[in-house]
Structure formats: structure tokens, C-alpha cells
Structure 1
């Protein structure tokens, strides 16, 4: 990891922390919640060793990047604006993009708004469903899952933060990164996000105490508000994206998901992916990979395999 270069870049009115390594065509990695550039550490080393310039920012609100105070400063259009400016700062006209979780959502919107900047996209875990013409996303989640769904619990500013502040950050990170069961989506208020302070979580082989400490140290400095604000802007994103209703994704795409990923088991998602709905919204979808025995954080759980999949796809362009 010591060979990865870190620098601060002024973009779109804020400063982003960027980790990068290598020379050649740029591969832009976009992380999710509650993560950092560090989630792509394995792919940065792998792709930079195969002739690419791997670039992974901490998104606004995360890590060493700026954390604007207003919730409204975390719309997907702000975040996409950051990345457009970052791409221009790299001195290139196009990049390959790889996104995961919220990073996948950002990547879909980057490709929707500025497809001219993207050679090809590899997205992990979160499919592109497009903008529903009538229903706001928060209303849809409530209708299906009720008030105790974690995204609904995240909506009120300060509430989740107060819960998180009462829990050891390392324990929180362990719980977030190792959850597997569908019931993890539902967080009753009487139970809370952390559970018992005496909970012992055995780490899987792909996640070390050193990794947990890196995440926890960064979130102890910034708090979780920046990351939570992405969820709080979901209805705003829906309103702002009205001009892009029915707009397809017009770049070559490879999609990857773990068969144990909760996103893969959301109602209707598997039929959507495998029975044509996804390919209609993403007409240049070239490949769907469902990885067996893998949960949500597949780029960390199966780093070599994911790196190989990324390389085998982007080398064609």
C-alpha cells in the first residue's frame, strides 16, 4: 500500500482526497457506504500493475475529502460534478469507471449525464432501474419495507448519528461490512443499529483488524453524516433527475453481484436482471456476473477475482 500516491485535488468548489497508482488509461474507482478509497486497495494495485492508472477518491463527506455541512450538498448531481471536474483535472478525455454500492449509483448517473466521458463501466451490486415517473424512492421503500428499513431510519438528520456515536466505531464497521442476512435491512428503533456493546464479531479472512482500524479511524474524524446525507438526498435526486426520465445508459457495461448480496435478494431484482428489464434500461449491457458465495462487498471479499473481471472487460476497449 505504501506505493499508492495520495494527493488533494480542488474540484467543483471542494477538495477531494485521491489515491492513485500507475500509468496508462485511467480507471476511476467510486466507493460506497460506509467506505473509502481504501475499499479499492486491491484493485488499485492489480490494475496499476496491468498498465492502467488507477484513481480512487474519497467522495465528498468521506475520509480526507471535504465534508460540506448542508444536506442538499450531497445530491448525486453534486457528486457527479465532483467526478467530472476530477476527470478533467487528470488531463484525459475519457476514463473507465468502476463503482460499488452508492458508488455504483454515482457511476450510473455519471454515465447518464456525461456518457462522453466514460469508455466503459463495471458496476457492482446496485442495478440501474432508472427514474420512476411517479413514485419518489423513499415512498417506495416505505411501501415495501415499512418504517424500520435502514434507509428510512437514516432520513432524519442527527438520529442515526446519535445512535452511531454511542457505539464503538470498530464494532459498527465490522457489522456493516460483514452483514449477510436479509433481516439486516430492518432496524427496529428499540433494537438500534449497534446491538449489544459486547457483541463479538469474528472477522472473515478478507477483512483484517488493520482494515477495520483504518475505516474506523477515518470515520471517528469525520463522523457518518456525510455518508448518511447521500440517503437523505434520494427524493431530491428523483426531483432533479426529471429531465432524464427514461434515459438509458449509453456506454458498454459489465455488472457484477454476489449471490448472497442483499441487493440481489430485494423484491423483483433477480427477475429484473435476468428477464430483460435491466438490458432494456442498459442497452449496451454486455455481461452479468453473479459470484457464488459472495456478499455485498465483493471487491473486498474476492479481490483477485473481481480485479480479473474488471481487467478482462476493460482491456477490450
Structure 2
């Protein structure tokens, strides 16, 4: 789907970190769409027209550090508190007082924290692929260091500035094709294959990616769009999100164990490790998401849920949104 065919409006709006790139379609109640890693506003290309047709003002952003949005040089500028305030600033800049926020992957975590920290702005929250889990437990870096045994968990691998960039940036398009295939329902390597969430000591993450074909949801032109964005921006802004997880743990200490009480939605893929590894978080939803309206796990679906299953996600989102209090 080309940008031209989508009939979208691009704009830049002020934010605490500089400017945020917003792509809009439709009119009505505001729905703010927040992407994950390694993506962009473009990951919502199927949702923008569907939400607009259903009577909503859909606004997909480039998260700070991505695409056309500002890319502060300070690593600490990518902590969760900053990204939440970016979201609130976008709502204000669009002339609205409140919005529904929906996120995928890291965007799911950003959306959840936006609802938690700014309930005055975000009246409902949708989370795709990554379940809500309240802040708690040991420091994240300690948890990641214990995972994988002789191998290194990918989040730990991403921690050192420049290390993952050195793997990715010489062949951005090939690396993106690999990670999209590795976590897609139709191209995942499956049981028995080396797990692409881990890195062999001295190895590279891409050594675990399947090669040879794109997932069914991704065309060559769509891959070109993603690659072009990261060729222009580099990867550091995106990777700095991972490098602030311990800071987030410290910043959010006052919210330890806190539930999100606004109306909420969750959807995940049955073949997505984010869903399976965090099954206990989903089981805890009666306590952690007391306002939960919709929760579904899609059979045969991987991580890139709104791109792998756009019709189903559009149905879930529009049905949930229609049921929300005005």
C-alpha cells in the first residue's frame, strides 16, 4: 500500500525532545498509534484507513529517534518518562485534550506507561504483542544477564552503544528482512532451530535469522521503505530504548505493581515469544488490567501482529473503540 493511496497527512509537531513526525488520516475521536522496534509510523499503514473509515482521527507517530522525528544525542533522552511526555505533547499539538493510545512491541510498553502516568490525557489503551506487566522485580539488567546460559539474550546484546549498530548498519535492508522473517508466523524457523532471541558468544544476532524469503505480509517495496528510513537515521536512536531499561526501572519505582484502570485491549500472536514468555502477565490481567475489555491471542500469528493480520486487528480495534465510553 503506497503512501499516496493512503491519502494521509504528514505534519511535524513540537515535543519536549524537539519534534515528532505524525501521519494522520480521518476525523473524529483521536487514536494515537505508537510503533515498536525496528519499525516506524508505516507499521500502521493498514490501520490508518480502517480507523478513518470507522470515524476516528488516526495519528501514527515516528517515536523519538526514528524516521523524521527528532533524535537527541543524549542516550538518557530515550527513557520512558520522556517518551510518555512526547505522546502527551502530540495530543496537545493536535488540538485535543484526550486520546486513546494503541501501541505495538515497544510501542505497547510506551502506550501502557502513557496510560499509567498520564490518565488525564489517555482515556483508554490498546496493547499489541507485548502484554502489560507492572514495574517490579529485580533490576532488568540483572534479569537479562541470567538468561540464555552460554548464550546472550538479545536485550543484553543491545545494551552496549555501537555494538548492535556495527552488526546492522553495513546491511540495514538485509538485517531488517532477517528480523522480520525471524519473528513472523509464516517464516519463523520453528521448534528445534536456534532461537533468534539469543546470540552465541562472539556471534551476531543475524546469524540466527532465516534467509531466503520475506514473510507474506511484507513486499519488497515495503521493505525498501523501512530500510530507507533506517539508512537515513542510523539505528542508535531506536536501540537507545533498550539502553534505558534500568533507568526506567528507577524512574517508575513509585508505580511498582500499579494496575492500569482505563478501558484496555490486548492482542498477541500465538507464535510470538512475547506472548508465550509473558503468559503469566496475561493471566494476571484481572488484577493488572481491571478495565480490560478485549483480550485475544491469534493462532498461527507471529510478532508483527497488525501487519500479519491486519483485517483481524482492524476488527478488534474498531469493535473495542466503538464500545468505549464517549
Report the TM-score when normalising by structure 2.
0.91
Q: Which residue of 2 aligns with 1:33?
A: 37
Point out where structure 2 has 5 or more consecutive residues left out of the alignment.
183-187
Contact 1:26–1:54 (Cα < 8 Å) also in 2: yes
Equivalent runs, 1:1-317 vs 2, <5 Å: 1-2=3-4, 3-132=7-136, 134-146=137-149, 148-166=152-170, 168-179=171-182, 180=188, 181=190, 183-195=195-207, 200-266=211-277, 269-274=278-283, 277-317=284-324
Q: CA deviation at 1:142?
A: 1.9
Cα deviation code 1:149-202 (max 9, x no counterpart): 100000011111111123x211111112121357111012433123399x7431
From the superposition, tell whether residues 177 and 196 of structure 1 become closer, same or farther in structure 2 (CA, over 3 Å). closer
Point out where structure 1 has 5 or more consecutive residues left out of the alignment.
none
- What is the alpha-carbon distance in structure 2 between the residues aligned to residue 145 and residue 128 of structure 1? 23
- What is the alpha-carbon distance in structure 1 between the residues aligned to residue 122 and residue 231 of structure 2? 34
Cα deviation code 1:128-159 (max 9, x no counterpart): 21111x51112112223346110000001111
Contact 1:6–1:19 (Cα < 8 Å) also in 2: yes
SS of the residue aligned with 2:285?
A: helix
- What is the alpha-carbon distance in structure 1 between the residues aligned to residue 263 and residue 208 of structure 2? 45
Q: CA deviation at 1:19?
A: 0.6
Contact 1:174–1:201 (Cα < 8 Å) also in 2: no
SS of the residue aligned with 2:45?
A: helix
Contact 2:24–2:48 (Cα < 8 Å) also in 1: yes
- What is the alpha-carbon distance in structure 2 between the residues aligned to residue 45 and residue 69 of structure 1? 34
- What is the alpha-carbon distance in structure 2 between the residues aligned to residue 231 and residue 130 of structure 1? 17
Bigger mean CA deviation after superposition, 228-237 or 179-188: 179-188
From the superposition, tell whether residues 285 and 35 of structure 1 become closer, same or farther in structure 2 (CA, over 3 Å). same
SS of the residue aligned with 2:124?
A: strand
- What is the alpha-carbon distance in structure 1 between the residues aligned to residue 252 and residue 281 of structure 2? 22
From the superposition, tell whether residues 23 and 246 of structure 1 become closer, same or farther in structure 2 (CA, over 3 Å). same
- What is the alpha-carbon distance in structure 2 between the residues aligned to residue 255 and residue 292 of structure 1? 14
Aligned alpha-carbon RMSD (Å)? 1.7
Q: CA deviation at 1:106?
A: 0.3
Report the TM-score when normalising by structure 1.
0.94
- What is the alpha-carbon distance in structure 2 between the residues aligned to residue 178 and residue 203 of structure 1? 6
- What is the alpha-carbon distance in structure 1 between the residues aligned to residue 166 and residue 217 of structure 2? 30
